Structure 1
Amino acid sequence: MWCFLRGMAFVSFLLVTWSSAAVIISYMVAVLSGHVNPFLPHISDTGTTPPESSIFGFMINFSAFLGTATIYLRYKILEKQNETSYFSTPVLNLVSLVLGLVGCIGMGIVASFQELTMPVVHDGGALLAFVCGVMYILLQSVISYKQCPQWNSLSTCRVRMAISVVSCAAVLPMIACASLISITKLKRNPREKDCVYHLVSAICEWTAAFGFVFYFLTFVQDFQSVTLRVSIETNVDI
């Protein structure tokens, strides 16, 4: 456990554990409260009705903050490494930063606007989070290969790319099936015509969400050798 706390590794490790806890706790509370069916609800379904909506909103908003910190820290690490040994154009790093930050904004929107209260805003936030999220991790995987072997091992690059491909493959049918669901509701009858679309969309959503979680877990090793220093300067006019 101590290795996860070396350097700045605790930031990405906290993001992974907190985000996992956010969706699992919200799911458990929603199921125990009888608000959703236990078998594969959408993640947003588990954060729609009180009390789980408050838990979901708070924890996912904090996850968005941790995600922002992790993505920015990753950006600065790559920037510094690229100065030492040029391996990629800085534009790739900057584009990935923007995509990651937009994805975090989408997470904040999802957490703040419940799907039954403001469905258009909620769905827009979810689209931003998932689309920008997969684009971010795909671009990071490409950058990782460019860093290999000096800054990354080949096995790490392969793991990252595999997670990226699986997440991307999950997001596309998730969006397609979600668009075919005519009515948004928390509980569904298996006989309904939309049930298959709901099931496929939910499976893909959970796959993509935990794909992001496992991807950020691969940053832990990179962050272990990084330290953060805060410099404060004051100017006093005499």
Structure 2
Amino acid sequence: MELKGLGFVPLLLAFWCAAWLATSYIVTVVLGHAASPLMHISDVGNFFPENILLRIGFIGTSIGTLVLTFLIYKYMVMHTEEFRGHQVLIQRILLAIVWASCFATAVMHVLSPEEYPRIHFVSMVISITCEALYYLGQSIQMYKLPGANKVIHHSRCTCCGLAFACAIFYFGYKTLQELFYDDEDWDEIREITTIIIEWVMLLLILINIVTYYSTMQRLMLTVSRNSCKSLLE
């Protein structure tokens, strides 16, 4: 069996992530489980049944991310015969970074933030920062490929750069405010700022995932009884 063009993988991943998150958000607001429509992504899953939707959504997203990033790894390694040595090492490091992000995401949603607040926060830092770092590093590597579509790669690099900057600012700002300010006005400003940054960061990552459509369309998967091979068209 042959699958010609795997562009559906990033599209399906982006659609899945947007669909379950929108559904969870709507259920949370409709059932009155949110004090305000403006809330953190993690606040979407504080109550039943949206907490189940949130866990299923993140598990599916993690699996989809593992599949997509492995296909990107295969694409990068197979793209040119000159892709050897330190370039392969860079790809393996990037793959390890994003898989660490997926593992941290799983830990974050297995352990309750109420019972394990520090572990939950550290897992969230690793999850978001590693994912943003991976896509930024991968976009830079793809930009170097011969014959690369510069418009797509410029868009990808811009989205990834902004997402990574948001991740750094998000955790830095939140940590500094907790350390140096104990004021209700500052708490409100901090919450609103971090919520906006969090949702913007997610949107940028989703846009970046969609940009891999044209890249994955060039990848073909051949499946037989004894093997599974990926080839460039």
Give the TM-score of the pair, scaled to structure 2: 0.86
Q: How does 1:5-84 map to 2 (within 5 A)?
A: 7-83=5-81
**Is the contact between residue 9 and residue 221 of structure 1 (CA under 8 Å) also seen in structure 2?**
yes
Letter of the 1:216 partner, please give it: I
Figure out how many residues of one structure are paired with residues of the other and give that number.
220
Deviation at 1:97, TM superposition (A): 0.8
| Aligned partner (choices 179, 184, 195) of residue 202 of structure 1 | 195
Deviation at 1:163, TM superposition (A): 0.3
The Cα RMSD (Å) is: 2.3
**Is the contact between residue 177 and residue 198 of structure 1 (CA under 8 Å) also seen in structure 2?**
no
Deviation at 1:180, TM superposition (A): 5.0
Letter of the 2:143 partner, please give it: Y
Aligned identity (percent) is 22
Deviation at 1:155, TM superposition (A): 0.5
Matched residue, 1:139 = 137
| Runs (5+) with no aligned partner, structure 1 | 183-190
| Aligned partner (choices 222, 228, 233) of residue 226 of structure 2 | 233
Matched residue, 1:188 = none
CA displacement 1:175-220 (0-9 Å, x = unmatched): 02332565xxxxxxxx654111111111111111121111111111
**Is the contact between residue 60 and residue 108 of structure 1 (CA under 8 Å) also seen in structure 2?**
yes
Equivalent position SS for 1:227: strand
**Is the contact between residue 167 and residue 208 of structure 1 (CA under 8 Å) also seen in structure 2?**
yes
2:173 counterpart of 1:177: yes
Deviation at 1:48, TM superposition (A): 1.9
2:149 counterpart of 1:156: no
Instruction: Give the structure with the higher percent strand.
Output: 2
Question: 112-121 or 196-205: which moved more?
Answer: 112-121
Equivalent position SS for 1:34: coil
Equivalent position SS for 2:206: helix
Where relative contact order (Cα < 8 A, 6+ residues apart) is larger, the structure is: 2
CA shift in 2, pair 1:147/1:16, >3 Å? same
Equivalent position SS for 1:228: strand
Matched residue, 1:121 = 119
**Is the contact between residue 141 and residue 161 of structure 1 (CA under 8 Å) also seen in structure 2?**
yes
2:99 counterpart of 1:106: no
**Is the contact between residue 48 and residue 116 of structure 1 (CA under 8 Å) also seen in structure 2?**
no
**Is the contact between residue 92 and residue 139 of structure 1 (CA under 8 Å) also seen in structure 2?**
no
CA displacement 1:8-38 (0-9 Å, x = unmatched): 1111111100011122111111111212134
Question: 224-233 or 128-137: which moved more?
Answer: 224-233
